[in-house]
A and B are shown apart, each in its own frame.
Chain A
Amino acid sequence: MESSLTFENQLNTCIRAIQERGLSVEECLTLYPAQRADLEPLLRLVVRLQAARSIQAPPQFRQIAAERMRLMIAASPRRVRHPLSVGIVDRLWQLGRVAIQGRHVPRLAAALSLILIICSLVGTSAAFASAESLPGDPLYPLKIGIEGTQLLLATNDIQTVNLRITFAGRRLDEASILIGKKRSDRARTALVRYNAELADALAPLHDPSRLPSATQQSLADMLDARLTQQQLHIDALLAETQSDDIAARQALEQARIQAEQGRSLAQQLLGRPGNLPDDMPRLPANTRSATPTPVPSATPTMSSTPTPTAQAWPPAAKTPTPPMWPTWFVTPTTPMPWPTWQMPPVAPPRTPPGWPTWPILPTVTPGTPPPAWPTPVMWPTPSVWPTFPAWPTHPPLPTPPAHPTPPGRPTPRSWPTAPGNASP
C-alpha cells in the first residue's frame, strides 16, 4: 500500500512536471530511475492523451452550427432579468397604469392600502430585498404577497393569466438558483409552486366558452409561447441537475409534464393538434393542489429527458415569418441583430488522402456579400435577403458517400448552397 502511494506520488510529480513545466518524458524519468519501467508507459500515455487536444469541430459544422444556434436563440428568447430597483419601479408603474386604464379605483385603493401596510410593517428595504428572496427565506412570503397584490389589480383574464405565467417563470428561476446551490428540498418547493401557478394560469382555458374568441386566441397564443420557453428552461435544469439528485429531478419531471399539458391545451385552442401523448395524464380542470403531487414511481424514470429534436428545434409554429427566417432577419429597416457574430478564420481542413473534400465556405464581411455566391452564410446586408430561397424546400445537396447522414437526424445536414459555391 505504502509503495503504491509512493509510486502514485512520483507519477503525480512527473505529470505535473510535464503539464506545468513542459518537461519531456525522458527528463521526468531521470527523476526516478528506479521506477522507470513502471512510470514510462503511463507518462507516454499522458503525452498521447495531450495530443487529442488538437481535435477541433469540423469547419462545416462550425458554420452550420453558428447559423442554427442563432436561429434557435432567436426562437427561444429568455426573459431578461432586470436589476432589482428597475423591477420594483416597473411593478409600481404597472400598478398605476392598470388603475388608470381600467378605472378600478376601489381595487386600486385596496391594493395600495395593502402595499402601504406591508411597507410600513417591514420597511421599504425589506420589500426591495424580497424580490430576490427564495423559498425558505424570511422575506419570501412578502414576495408572494406583492405578487398577490398584483393579481388583485388585474382587470381581465389576459392580464391575470399573463401575471400568473410570469410568476410561474419566477418559480422556475428560483428552482434554478436553488438547484445550483444543491438545495433540492427548497427547489422542490419552488417547483410545486410553479405547478400551482401554472394550474391557475390554465384555469380559464378549461372553460373557453365563457371567453370571447379573440381573448381565447390571445391567451392560447401567449401561453403557447411562454410555456415553450419554460419547457426549454426545465430541460436545461434537468440537464444541469446531477443524476443522483433524485428529488430535484422528480420535481422537474413533474413540472415538465405540467408545462407540456398546458402547451397542449393552448395548442388545442389554437386549432393545432396537441402533441400530448395519449398516456400522459391530463390536467384536471380548475384544480390547484396545495400539496405536491407525488411521483408515482419510487425510482424515477430518467428516460423522459427530452430528445435532442424536442430541445434543439422549436416548433415550426414558433417561427415568426414564413418560410423559415425570422422577421428581423429579412426586414431591411431592422438593424442587424448579430453584427458582431463573425466566424473566425477557419484553418484549412486536414484531410487524409482519399478523404472527400468538403467545400469550405468563404468568410463574408457584413454588408459585402461575395458576388459569386448569392447564398449568404454570414450576416449579409438585409437588402440581399428577400431573394433568399426557403431552405426547407431547397433541394438538398447530395450527401458525400463517405460521410452519410445517419437516419433519424432532425435536420438536413446539408446547407443550401448556390451554384457558384464551388470548392476552394
Chain B
Amino acid sequence: MAGDPRRERELVQRAIAGDADAFGALYLMHLDAIYRYALLRVRNSTEAEDLTEQVFLKAWQAIPGYRQYGKDFIHWLYTIAHNVVVDYHRRRDSVHISLSDAVIEEEHETSVLDALVQAEDVSALSAAIAQLPEEQQQVIILRFVEGLNYNEVARIMGKSEGACRIIQYRALLALNKLLVGEQV
C-alpha cells in the first residue's frame, strides 16, 4: 500500500501531466497489491503477471481522466484490475481447454503459489475463493486480504456499504463451508 498519501498524490499529479518517472514510482508502490489481487482471482502466477502488466498499462493510458473518478489511486487500480480479470475469465471461458491440460496447469500453479507465499493454506484458500461468485470473491479479497474498509470496498464496487456487508457475510459463510468440506 502507499506509505505517504501526500507523496502518492503528488506522484499521481505528475503522472497525469505525463511524467513517466512518477508513474514508475506508482507502479512499484502498488505492484504487489495488484499482483496479489490478480493471483487470487485467476490462481495462475503467469497469468497474474500478464494481467498485472495490463492493469498498469491501461492505467497509464487512462490516467489523464483519473481525477474525475474521485477515488484513491489504488482503489482506481483495483477497479481496472477487476475489469481486466472479468475480461480474462470471459476470454478464458470461450477457449476450450482439455481436461489433461487443466489438471497439469492446476498442479503446477498450486506449487508456484505455495512457493511464492510459503503458506500452504493460501493455496487452499485461493482455490476455495475461486469457487465463490465473482462479487463475493472481490469483497473477500478487498476486505480481508487487502484490508480495505467497507466504505472503500463499496466505492470500488459501486455498491452501498450495506450491500457489501451482506455480500461479505454470505461470502464468509460460503467460504467456511467450502473449506470445512475440503477437510472432511
Contacts and interface: CB of A to CB of B under 8 A. Distances in A.
Interface of A: 8, 11-12, 19, 41-42, 45-46, 48-58, 61-62, 65-66, 68-70, 72-74, 76-81, 173, 176-177, 180-181, 232-233, 235-243, 302-303, 305, 307-308, 311-312, 337-341, 343-344, 350-352, 355, 402-406, 409, 413
Contact of B61 (A48, A78, A338): A78
Contacts of B84: 239
B90 A303 contact: yes
16 contacts: A8-B169, A45-B175, A49-B140, A53-B146, A53-B147, A62-B28, A69-B53, A78-B64, A176-B65, A177-B68, A180-B68, A237-B62, A239-B54, A240-B58, A243-B83, A344-B28
Contacts of B20: 70, 73-74, 337-338
Interface string B138-181: 00100011110000000000100000010001001101100110
Given A57-B31, A57-B52, A308-B50, A52 B145 contact: yes
Contacts of A235: 58, 61
Interface in B21-75: 21, 23-25, 27-28, 31-32, 35-36, 39-40, 45-46, 49-65, 68-69
A45 B83 contact: no
Interface in B100-117: 105, 108, 111-112, 114-117
A232 B61 contact: yes
Nearest to B86: A243
A241 B84 CA distance: 10
A311 B54 contact: yes
Contacts of A73: 20, 23-24, 57, 60
Contacts of A237: 62
Contact of B58 (A11, A74, A311): A311
A69 B57 contact: yes
Which range holds the interface residue count of chain B?
A: 35 or more
Nearest to A20: B149
Contact of B49 (A45, A61, A236): A61
A207 B52 CA distance: 43
Nearest to A8: B169
A67 to B, nearest CB: 11
B2 interface: no
Given A52-B122, A173-B64, A239 B28 contact: no
